[in-house]
Copies of this chain bind each other. A is one copy, B any other.
Amino acid sequence: MPYPLTAGKSRIEALSDGVFAIAMTLLVLKLEVPEVMHHSSNAEMLRQLLALGPALVTYVVTFLIAGGFWFLHHLTFHFIRNVSGVLIWVNLVFLMLVALLPFSAGLMSHLLVHPVSQLFYFGNQFAIALMLNVHWHYARRKNLLAKDGERLEMSHLSWRIGVVTAAFAAAIVAAIVDPPFSALAFLICFVAGVVLEHFRCQKV
């Protein structure tokens, strides 16, 4: 490792927080303000807002999924002390996939039940989850972590990142087999993971 990058952790964190904050906030630009007139009735106006339903659902779900990825990424950096050049490039690819979310969400909100848009949307999320695995396991293997004392919590985090990845993999399979089932498959896997996680935590 030719460069001493101990000071670098705070800046890759800052760049990550920036990209996450922007990608999450740009999602709102996919919600187009309906062009109604002043004299349009309340019923007409409500109908217009309800037509935005799928886009609003996509906004809420994508924002929270992205927030979840931010949380997991943040947890990994709780344990990481040293940053190497390779880790920074892994993070840049990770962030490139995060910054793609407004596009995937736009595809999803226009074409909510279309198999191809579902495939792209869940594919993007799966790729993010995959890079998070690469990032975390690379840091573990290369001894970039801070403390040896929290072995249990670290394997805990590995497991948590794994659950999210599996849930998105299931969503992709479902999108190919039976598109409308796609979101449901994701939900089932995710909730199952969270519940199992919860019991595991209490044992700890």
Residues of chain A touching chain B, judged by Cβ–Cβ distance below 8 Å, are 2-5, 7-8, 11-15, 17-31, 33-36, 38, 40, 42, 45-46, 49, 59-60, 63-64, 67-68, 70-71, 74-75, 77-78, 85, 88-89, 92-93, 95-96, 99-100, 102-103, 106-107, 110-111, 113-117, 120, 150, 153, 156-157, 201, 204
Collect the chain B residues with CB atoms within 8 Å of residue A49's CB: 116, 120
Contact B33 A78 (CB under 8 A): no
Work out how many copies of this chain go into the complex: 4
A85 to B, closest residue via Cβ: B71
Contacts A64-B92, A96-B64, A116-B42; A5 near B78 (Cβ below 8 A): yes
Contacts A17-B15, A78-B5; A25 near B106 (Cβ below 8 A): no
Contact B116 A25 (CB under 8 A): no
Q: Is the interface of A mostly helix, strand, loop or mixed?
A: helix
A178 to chain B, nearest CB (A): 14
Collect the chain B residues with CB atoms within 8 Å of residue A88's CB: 71
A155 to chain B, nearest CB (A): 11
A88 to B, closest residue via Cβ: B71
Contact B2 A153 (CB under 8 A): yes
CA distance A14 to B14 in the complex (A): 8
Contacts A2-B201, A45-B116, A201-B2; A96 near B75 (Cβ below 8 A): no
Contact B13 A11 (CB under 8 A): yes
CA distance A121 to B182 in the complex (A): 33
A33 CB contact (under 8 Å) in B34, B107, B153: B107
Contact B17 A20 (CB under 8 A): no
A196 to chain B, nearest CB (A): 13
A179 to B, closest residue via Cβ: B42
Contact B4 A63 (CB under 8 A): no
A204 to B, closest residue via Cβ: B2
Contact A22 B18 (CB under 8 A): yes
CA distance A96 to B21 in the complex (A): 10
